[in-house]
Structure 1
């Protein structure tokens, strides 16, 4: 990335909510597109050593985003493992905000009830040609939030947003 100071993900926990912030060196409309179009999500929605081979997006309130993240790095102990997810969009205000309920699912799209679901609110704020992204993840309880933190969500989001930053830079240089 060209501007290191903007590559920092800031995180804080407030009760049962995880708040993440990062400034991306890209216009708000482009960052919003990266969150709303399957062709872009497939390229960045996974951590290091993982890919997103399945990414179906019905981007409208009530629509579903169904995806699979798969470990493609042979050196990782999780090699070949798949995680499926299903998000249901609740609110979309282009290019300012996306609200959805994100859940773990199986390959058929059935929600895994034993795993925590989260209400995610993604806010895109224009800042002099850059975009401040604020992600607020609200869990049913502080214990559910802690379980996700214990799973390594902060490292995962940082790696995923690094991939997003690289994609945004690539798209702007085309």
Structure 2
């Protein structure tokens, strides 16, 4: 059985996405914090909008910037700063590209060679979450499938998984 991604609205302003990954927390964390790995899974392939660049200074106060599009002159950017970085277990960052940007917290909990990932987003208003949730419900499961595929190439998946 494949791992499932759960996308759940917890309140008017909160969204929680959970999934179990077949790999240790160290590898899953690295896939979220190393630009060369992040670029291989973050953009859902079905949208046809590639991730053009990824800059990450993964430390408290460090910044990140992601650019999507087909060419730099017609790209869109997502950016912010890291508020918390606890290797292999927790990341917290801001999404500063608009006034409706969320604060994202991702936790990585190792469970017998697998990782329970919980992504929590807190939006400034109900309307901001309403605008974001459609893309999250469609995009996150595909992104996480792509992360699963990457983990296999990194040696994170177990042989003979069910």
- 2:57 and 2:8 map into 1 onto residues whose CA distance is 31
- 1:153 and 1:129 map into 2 onto residues whose CA distance is 27
Match of 1:108 in 2: none
Deviates more, 1:94-103 or 1:44-53: 44-53
Residue by residue over 1:46-88, the C-alpha shift from the partner in whole angstroms, topping out at 9 and shown as x without a partner, is: 112332121111111110111112259xxxxxxx963211021
RMSD of equivalent CA atoms: 1.8
Match of 1:9 in 2: 5
- 2:105 and 2:92 map into 1 onto residues whose CA distance is 4
In structure 1, runs of 5+ residues without a counterpart are 73-79, 105-111
1:44 equivalent in alignment to 2:28: no
Structure 1's 132 and 81: CA in aligned 2 closer, same or farther, altered over 3 A? farther
1:43/1:51 contact within 8 Å kept = no
Q: In the alignment, which of 138, 150, 154 is matched to residue 167 of structure 1?
A: 150
1:146: Cα distance to partner?
Answer: 0.6
User: 1:17-166 residue pairs with structure 2 within 5 A?
Assistant: 17-48=14-45, 49-70=48-69, 82-104=75-97, 112-113=98-99, 116-150=100-134, 152-166=135-149
- 1:40 and 1:122 map into 2 onto residues whose CA distance is 17
Residue by residue over 1:7-54, the C-alpha shift from the partner in whole angstroms, topping out at 9 and shown as x without a partner, is: x10121122100000000011100000011111111111112332121
